[in-house]
Chains A and B, each alone.
Chain A
Amino acid sequence: MPAGTLYRGREGMWSWVAHRVTGVLIFFFLFVHVLDTALVRVSPEAYDTVVATYKTPIVALLEYGLVAAILFHALNGLRVIAVDFWLQGARYQKQMLWTVVAVWVVLMIGALYPVLGHAVRELFGS
């Protein structure tokens, strides 16, 4: 039987969805990360070749996405801990979520140059 309409949850529900999605993305990153790091035990040359491909602009963009996922997951994780352990946490969950989003935006702007600077120089010259 079709499920009907999507439930129209508010901030709390969507922050939980984003938390899940970023969590799964981070898991996949860690999976790949363990594999490529383990490659050095197989052959240092193969490791170097793989890591060299990470210097391309597309991977730089993926890295920026990784920063986005980890920052949101980490900051929202602190919010979830506060909801569970701080006596007033549940009452201020929305304010805390918007604080998380604000801090996330600031840190994402801060991460622009360190993460994407190299790729921009490579694409458009210095």
Chain B
Amino acid sequence: MGKTLLEVKGLTTKYITRFHENVYAVDNVSFAVEEGKSLGIAGESGCGKSTLALSLMGYYFPPLHYMSGDILIDGRNISGMAPDDVRLHILGAEIAYIPQAAMNALNPTQKIIRFIEDVILAHDPKMGKKDIYDLARKRFEILNLPADVLQKHAVELSGGMKQRTVIAISTILSPKVLIADEPSSALDVSSQRVVIKMLRDLMEMGYIKCMIFITHELPLLYNVTDDIAVMYAGQFVEKGTAKEMVFDPLHPYSKGLMESIIVPESGTRDIKLSAIPGTPPNLKNPPSGCRFAERCRYVTPMCAASSVRFLDVAGERNYRCILPEEKLREVYGRA
């Protein structure tokens, strides 16, 4: 068992709307990621995946507000820090973030090397430009990116190349934790593969120590991360290893998600694809009981009555449902 690098305990953050309503987008989320491991977070649009990413970085700018909970990076608690301090000491050096639309993250009037200078000088103002260039060129070469990209503008690069450049820029200081928020969903399958390969290389070469990967593409998560957590209405509903989650999901919501997987393999055309009916609950006033009860096909009268804890099953597996493990497997028709 490796050292725990990122630990999150009971993190709750909220948005305050312009009508002064509280929306708890991340509600009491706890998890830990060990050194050399990656955690995938899956869920529908609007379930709080991206808010969780922003919250982990300590990026609390209105309307997002921190409520409670701890975020420990290598034992150091960053949850109480002011956003400006976080930006100065944590972002880039301890925790790095890759946004979904990397294409829009690059200023079109600047050369790529300027962004790298920006990142490095923010943390080490004394470093010379020549040293920065050498460092950047070396890193780019290791990551199989052509070094002449450094002297180019963002508009000269293709979508996949931009995304890889953004990854290289944000990991230039070798952060401990990398948060990738849908890094490949705007790309086609071929560029996606190259981007994912680069993330894997970064992990293997030790430039990043652990990774949180957010996406709704489950086959991708299965191939990229060690563990998968499924998020629903601001809470984790199930967490386990990638294999368990895809082939033996316990929570009815995870099961629904896994049923929406389409892969080009024989037998795909015979599967009946089923969507989960209904919409997620409004997080302004979430249901007091199980948040999935309204859409659950195995709902019981008890579901809506009591709030459901995150239950431990043998090992690292957790899920949030009142039905016991055997009972769930029984209703799914799995022995």
Q: Do A and B come from one complex?
A: no
By a beta-carbon cutoff of 8 Å, the part of chain A in contact with chain B is none
Residues of chain B having any CB pair with chain A under 8 Å: none
